[in-house]
Amino acid sequence: MSDTQAVLIAGKWRQSAGDSTFQASNPKTREKLPDRYPVSPWAEVEEAIEAAAAAFEELGGLARDKIAAFLEKYADRIEARAGEIADIAQLETALGREPRLGTIEMGRTTGQIRQAAAAARERSWVNAVIDTSNNVRSMLGPIGPVAVFGPNNFPLAFGSISGGDFVAAIAAGNPVIAKANSSHPGTTRLLAEEAHAAAQETGMPAAMVQLIYRTTHEDGEKLVSHPLIGATGYTGSRSAGLVLKAAADKAGKPIYLELSSINPMVILPGALKERSDEIAAEFQASVFMGTGQFCTNPGTVLLLADEESAAFVENVKARFGSAPVGTLLSEGVERNLVAGVQSLREAGAELLVGGGQGGGDGFSCQNSLLKVDGDTFLSNPEALQEEAFGNASLLVIAKDSCQLKQILKTLEGNLTGCIYSHSGGGDDDLYSEIVPTLRQRVGRLLNDKMPTGVLVTPAMNHGGPYPATGHPGFTAVGIPTSLVRFGMLQCFDGVRQHRLPAELQDKNPNGRMWRNIDGRWTQADVAV
């Protein structure tokens, strides 16, 4: 097995003890790539967990600035190897090399890492609350070793050892055990090399970052529910995620999931009257971004039945028919997309264009547009909300505003929901009528813009009610907000000053950290 890539456990790159392997594919050619990656046996996973627990103990005594320095060094190292990383990411995912992988996603990735470093230095994310008269003080402390399962669609910015969950867990003070996504193990390996080298250069504990490529499903469940694990971050398919969720829930271990989302978009009549073709063009750009493989891809569009809607449908149909067909991430995505479109048809949707496998290079499926009327949707709302992940979208035509609201009431939880409306206020009454229903079902509500852009800002919510995620109170994107997921609330009651963590002592540890002292937010010291 010496031709099999090594795992990173307890600070060492070494051959896996496992005897089975897997290979990724080149989506453009449908052929297997040459490198073999191991399936780690349970003993190896457990060794990683124990090493992470030891690293967590070591971290307790380490200044938060050192973790920031590690992250900054890591960002520098990624940049120094950016070309090679983007090349292998393109080979494994068929996503665009430029600007998508090499510039946009790479820049977002190193940007996120540096933002997380800044958050670790600044420390306001710990939400320090100080009651001076009773000497009761609390903050979010690190939760413990974090397992991260990354998705297939953003090999860098959501990657298990480079993405949003990873940097949030590390910046919050926790070691990470990364489980590579099976569709881009080579990309993950290069990133892990840089992460580990940066960790060593900056004096992190040996097992600050660890990497395994795959486990059995059963061992995945044991990992997320292990007593020494603090929490898990998972982004991926709903079916696999729900199995991990059940295991983690049973053990009382927090698991933050991003599972699926059809990102409903409502286009109100005034907007269509005003700028139908413009909206169709925006929609086309959004829905085919990354061959439709964005978590926030607009998969369901709600319209009111009228002439403008009919024209919009024709416009979009023509765009779907003539747009180039992109390559999908994997054979699994191709299979699921073809099956997903077929399921929507079986549930009553009419196929306007596309639907067949192929049409592009390698793994691909024709650009698929479906349509269903409101009565049919309401007769089978669950099946008609099944996510068809990829370059497909469903138009739902409600007969009137009352039915539109009924349809919105049947929606499951989603990451986003958009409303397009007349710029001059012509749709305001209808907007007010439907927005409370949509608001409660989505994490992020957009006006007059497509949901595919997910800014890294503290005000972002990349989250939402189940089944978009497992809990509607948390976001996976946005620093420092995303760090909160990997903290536990720690209260200190009557604890002597010198025994308190620096963040809760009278003196503000850096003069910049925001703390809530006796009900006021301030960067000042506690007045003594």
Q: Out of 44, 92, 258, 412, which one is annotated catalytic?
A: 258
Query: From the list 49, 185, 444, 483, which residue makes contact with a copy of itself (rule: CB under 8 A)?
Result: 444
Q: Which range of residues in 9-17, 74-82, 155-163, 485-493 is near a copy of itself by CB under 8 A?
A: 485-493
Among 107, 492, 505, 525, binds a copy of itself (CB under 8 A): 492
In this structure, the number of other CB atoms found within 10 A of the CB of residue 26 comes to: 17
**Is residue 384 a contact partner of residue 347, using CB atoms and an 8 Å limit?**
yes
**Cis peptide preceding 501, ω within 30 of 0:** no
CA 227 to CA 412: how far, in whole Å? 32
32 Cβ contact list (under 8 Å, min separation 6): 23, 24, 25, 26
Residues of span 317-346 touching a copy of itself by CB under 8 A? none
Q: Which residues, numbered 456-475, are part of the site for a copy of itself (CB under 8 A)?
A: 457-461, 463, 465-467, 470-475
497 binds a copy of itself (CB under 8 A): no
When binding is defined by CB under 8 A, the residue of 481, 503, 508, 513 that contacts a copy of itself is: 481
Which one of 315, 376, 440, 505 is in contact with a copy of itself (CB under 8 A)? Answer: 440
Residues 6+ apart with CB under 8 A from 137: 128, 129, 130, 131, 491, 492, 495, 500, 504
- The helix or strand, by DSSP H or E, that contains position 416, with its residue range, turns out to be strand 414-420
d(CA 296, CA 317): 21
User: What is the distance between the alpha carbons of residues 143 and 154, in angstroms, rounded to a whole number?
Assistant: 26
Q: How far apart are CA 415 and CA 328, in angstroms?
A: 22
State the minimum distance, in angstroms, from the CB of residue 458 to a copy of itself. Answer: 5
Q: How far is Cα 211 from Cα 147, in angstroms, rounded to an integer?
A: 10
The nearer residue to a copy of itself, 57 or 201, going by C-beta atoms, is 57
Long-range contact pairs involving 116-119 (C-beta distance under 8 Å, separation at least 24): 116/71, 116/167, 116/168, 116/170, 116/171, 116/479, 116/480, 116/483, 117/67, 117/68, 117/69, 117/71, 117/72, 117/75, 117/171, 118/68, 118/479, 119/171, 119/479, 119/480, 119/483
Distance, in Å, from the CA atom of 55 to the CA atom of 159, rounded to the nearest integer, reads 22
Query: Interface with a copy of itself includes 131 (CB under 8 A)?
Result: yes
- Residue closer to a copy of itself by CB (options 34, 519) is 519
Total number of residues shown for the chain? 528
- Whole-angstrom distance, CA of residue 297 vs CA of residue 453: 9
Binding to a copy of itself (CB under 8 A): which residues in 49-68? 57, 60
User: Toward a copy of itself, which CB reaches closer, 34 or 424?
Assistant: 424
Looking at the Cβ atoms of 14 and 250, the one nearer to a copy of itself is: 250
Q: If binding is defined by CB under 8 A, does position 238 make contact with a copy of itself?
A: no
Q: What is the spatial distance between Cα 324 and Cα 328, in angstroms, rounded to a whole number?
A: 13
Q: Single out the residue of 310, 447, 507, 524 in contact with a copy of itself (rule: CB under 8 A).
A: 447
Q: Are strands 209-212 and 231-235 parallel, antiparallel or unpaired?
A: unpaired
Q: How far is the CB of 192 from a copy of itself (least distance, A)?
A: 27
CA atoms within a 13 Å half-sphere pointing along the CA-CB vector of 504: 27
Q: Which is nearer to a copy of itself, 246 or 323 (CB)?
A: 246
Nearer to a copy of itself, 57 or 400 (CB): 57
Q: Kindly tell me which residue out of 63, 197, 339, 491 binds a copy of itself, with binding defined by CB under 8 A.
A: 491
Query: For residues 139-178, which are near a copy of itself according to CB under 8 A?
Result: 140-141, 143-144
Which member of 145, 292, 355, 413 binds a copy of itself (CB under 8 A)?
413
Piece of the chain touching a copy of itself by CB under 8 A; list 159-167, 181-189, 384-392, 442-450: 442-450
| CB of 77 or CB of 485, closer to a copy of itself | 485
Active-site residue (options: 295, 365, 412, 503): 295
- The single residue among 446, 503, 508, 509 that binds a copy of itself, judged by CB under 8 A, is 446
Q: How far is the CB of 95 from a copy of itself (least distance, A)?
A: 24
Nearest CA among 164, 160, 204, 208 for reference residue 185: 160
* Contact stretch for a copy of itself (CB under 8 A) within 79-87, 130-138, 195-203, 287-295: 130-138
Cross-strand pairs, 520: 517
Window 419-438: residues binding a copy of itself (CB under 8 A): 431, 435-436
Q: Which is nearer to a copy of itself, 46 or 249 (CB)?
A: 249
Active-site residue flag, 402: no
Question: How far apart (Å, rounded) are the C-alpha atoms in residues 146 and 143?
Answer: 8
Nearer to a copy of itself, 202 or 522 (CB): 522
- Rounded CA separation 239/409 (Å): 24
Among 3, 382, 424, 499, binds a copy of itself (CB under 8 A): 499
Per CB under 8 A, which of residues 242..301 are in contact with a copy of itself? Answer: 245-246, 249-254
CB 242 to a copy of itself: min, Å = 9
- Between residues 324 and 473, which has the closer beta carbon with respect to a copy of itself? 473
- DSSP character at residue 309: H
Nearest CA-CA partner of 118 in 412, 522, 513, 524: 513
Q: Which of 130, 287, 301, 398 binds a copy of itself (CB under 8 A)?
A: 130
The residue within the footprint of a copy of itself, chosen from 4, 16, 115, 138 (CB under 8 A), is 138
Q: Which of 311, 323, 383, 488 binds a copy of itself (CB under 8 A)?
A: 488
Sign of CA dihedral 406, 258, 386, 249: negative
Could you tell me which residues are beta bridge partners of residue 234? 149, 257
* Catalytic sites, residue numbers: 258, 295
